Structure 1
């Protein structure tokens, strides 16, 4: 017999094992590198998509309110045409006649009917002029109470500081107002508000001898606010499609019976009743002639009060007073810059773009309101035909894998142009308390002020 023995078994040598391990590590390193690169690219793409969406929303939301600026009930600012210096005929600005003594209180005061007021009667303006002294008789509502802008740098704002209206101070901490971001306040009659006069609804009792208003009985019609919204300290505005009158009322009952004239009105004249054919409505000035202010606030990305920080777009209505139906809402995050340039029409009918301080300082204005107050400080705030809005959005969460070219961005509101690194801009993110390692994009639009009709 022949016996066969199994062959000898051989294992891996140490060198072969080390070669295999090195090859495995190289493959794993390649996979990790591809994964990290893909993950980083995916994060950047997601941030960019989110940034684009929020930038469009910011522009759209601001534009909606700017389109309404100066809006009155079924009318606009156009009035009786007068020849201007250049031979062009321009309309005098149509404005409500004010009988009430306290339409506007001191700067930032909530006792007046208007919120976020920084234009004090008789005070010096930031541009070197003075605002009219407090009237002693009925007057037309001046231009500077319809719109107000603030040009802000890293340390101060012109023509005045909006903190006097109750806004946060500028700074780099959580809750501060963002440095280098402009602020704007606009006013308009809230659409859908008010009580219709005539028919089966609200009614006016008129003095037969003078044709002036004695009482107004409010009745809640379909789609109208409850009459209990009108309280004793509120001012009333009676308006039709041609004019408006603002006056104080007294003896406001639970059934909203308003007595006119009240002791808080000037006694040189009394508000008159409009004809029913002109579709008059009564509005609550404190609630319905609403004030809308936009500004940027520093917020914590992780909501813990700590860095990293970004900017939030804030919309403040009626001074955030709940009694006035107001609020202060954070609309979106990731916005670092907010700038406005105002397209104004001067007395010759020419249009130019100015910043807020130049608008407030200019005396080269279109025909003023009928029976306008003097001096004419702030007269261009209702000569604005369009507003150029610029916002700078960021990705909020720092991406430390971004290359230097990825960090470059342009912002046309600055004097420098082209794609620059964060440190190359006039207002640097680090000055505002924001990290450099963020994707950034600029969004701009030109908004026509449709309620200006010279």
Structure 2
């Protein structure tokens, strides 16, 4: 019988090992290419979603019906009214947009990102209100924060106004209650507006049959001072929300978060639990563009001032007026992949990451990172609106 000699067996094993090494190398290269493409795809997907979400929200700044807050502020007396106590920053609707600049993160600064983000320790300019600090406990150090307050884009026409001028009851078509709620199950903060004035208030009661009653409530400190007419006024839910970058202990990664401040009808103001919107957002930088004209006269429509939140605060003694003249926002996001997508780099092999003048030193953890920037025109602040 014919057999295989030891020499022939050894030669066959060597050839097999060479083939296996080649297959393993091909597999490793394919796996690395897949991880790179997957990491890049996740970074692009998350950044696109984060940008779209923030753009939609920022563009709503100044929306108070058919006349924006900037135009309301030009009236004598001002026609943007509120019955709410302004002791809580979330209820100060005279400032539709307000930013908080993380200390030492302005243009020209360098920011080192730790492998595990540090939280709760950064100082802000202007100072972060204690109410916000208590609600944003997982905020990542070195990232800017922005607060927005406005009336939701969709409202319902007021079909009948009962009660008294000081304490009105607004009736609307009951089938449109879901439009008025706009995603909040028990809203209590509302705004009523026509093309002459707008009033933000807390409802004492909301009837599913189609009515919102204004009366004594924990957050109301005054009564209505403006009159509204059936057929001309619309009712909206009032939104007060804060966007920031926070750390998620479960995924062990920074994410874009939202905290909404709401009050049920007749109830106290409360911060909802932080909502994680987009994973992998490690840092957010914001710059604000102001109109050339800052005083009480009409704006020019030219946005030729640009700076941080601290610069906006320093531009006028009247802080609310300074923020009303913000007509554009520059947004920069640093986004990383959820999982490591490449081998750790060697010293000096890192690509520079810069967002709105801030240079990042990223940790060497193999994650894909990229910076995305955009400029957002606040459409409710456009001259002539």
Paired residues of 1:362 and 1:379 also in contact (CA < 8 A): no
Flag the 1:45–1:402 CA change in 2: closer, same or farther, 3 A: farther
Flag the 1:59–1:215 CA change in 2: closer, same or farther, 3 A: closer
Shift, 1:397, TM fit? 0.8
- What's 1:132 paired with? none
- What's 1:274 paired with? 228
Q: 2:195 aligns with which of 224, 241, 248?
A: 241
Structure number with bigger Rg: 1
Q: Determine the C-alpha separation between the residues in 1 that align with 2:173 and 2:60.
A: 25
Paired residues of 1:238 and 1:280 also in contact (CA < 8 A): yes
Q: Determine the C-alpha separation between the residues in 1 that align with 2:372 and 2:240.
A: 25
Shift, 1:23, TM fit? 2.5
Q: Does 1:310 align with 2:253?
A: yes
Q: 2:243 aligns with which of 294, 298, 301?
A: 294
Q: Determine the C-alpha separation between the residues in 2 that align with 1:230 and 1:202.
A: 23
Shift, 1:48, TM fit? 0.8
Paired residues of 1:67 and 1:448 also in contact (CA < 8 A): yes
**What are the superposed Cα offsets for residues 298-335 of structure 1, whole Å, 9 maximum, x if unpaired?**
124xx3x6xxx321111222259897796642112111
- What's 1:12 paired with? 5
Q: Determine the C-alpha separation between the residues in 2 that align with 1:34 and 1:92.
A: 75
- What's 2:108 paired with? none
Question: Could you say what secondary structure the match of 2:255 adopts?
Answer: strand
**What are the superposed Cα offsets for residues 158-195 of structure 1, whole Å, 9 maximum, x if unpaired?**
211255313334xxxxxx2222211111111012245x
- What's 1:173 paired with? none
1:97-176 pair list within 5 angstroms: 97-98=81-82, 100=83, 102-106=84-88, 114=90, 142=94, 145-153=95-103, 155-161=122-128, 164-165=131-132, 166-169=134-137, 176=138
Shift, 1:276, TM fit? 4.0
Shift, 1:215, TM fit? 4.1
- What's 1:23 paired with? 15
Q: Determine the C-alpha separation between the residues in 2 that align with 1:250 and 1:316.
A: 23
Shift, 1:18, TM fit? 2.9
- What's 1:110 paired with? none
- What's 2:306 paired with? 353
How many residues end up aligned between the 2 structures?
350
Question: Could you say what secondary structure the match of 2:256 adopts?
Answer: strand
Flag the 1:204–1:453 CA change in 2: closer, same or farther, 3 A: farther
| Worse-superposed segment, 333-342 or 318-327 | 318-327
Q: Does 1:188 align with 2:150?
A: yes
| Worse-superposed segment, 314-323 or 245-254 | 245-254
Q: Determine the C-alpha separation between the residues in 2 that align with 1:453 and 1:394.
A: 34
Paired residues of 1:407 and 1:436 also in contact (CA < 8 A): no
- What's 2:141 paired with? 179
- What's 1:202 paired with? 160
Q: Determine the C-alpha separation between the residues in 2 that align with 1:50 and 1:254.
A: 43
Shift, 1:73, TM fit? 1.2
Flag the 1:186–1:265 CA change in 2: closer, same or farther, 3 A: closer
Q: Determine the C-alpha separation between the residues in 2 that align with 1:50 and 1:19.
A: 46
Flag the 1:239–1:20 CA change in 2: closer, same or farther, 3 A: same
Paired residues of 1:79 and 1:92 also in contact (CA < 8 A): no
Flag the 1:225–1:398 CA change in 2: closer, same or farther, 3 A: closer
Paired residues of 1:220 and 1:227 also in contact (CA < 8 A): no
- What's 1:383 paired with? 325
Q: 1:451 aligns with which of 356, 377, 380?
A: 380
Shift, 1:261, TM fit? 9.3
Q: Does 1:55 align with 2:55?
A: no
Flag the 1:294–1:266 CA change in 2: closer, same or farther, 3 A: closer
**What are the superposed Cα offsets for residues 65-101 of structure 1, whole Å, 9 maximum, x if unpaired?**
111111111222353998xxxxxxxx99965123x3x
Q: Does 1:330 align with 2:291?
A: no
1:397-408 pair list within 5 angstroms: 397-401=339-343, 403-404=345-346, 407-408=350-351
Shift, 1:389, TM fit? 0.8
Shift, 1:17, TM fit? 3.2
State the Cα RMSD in Å. Answer: 4.0
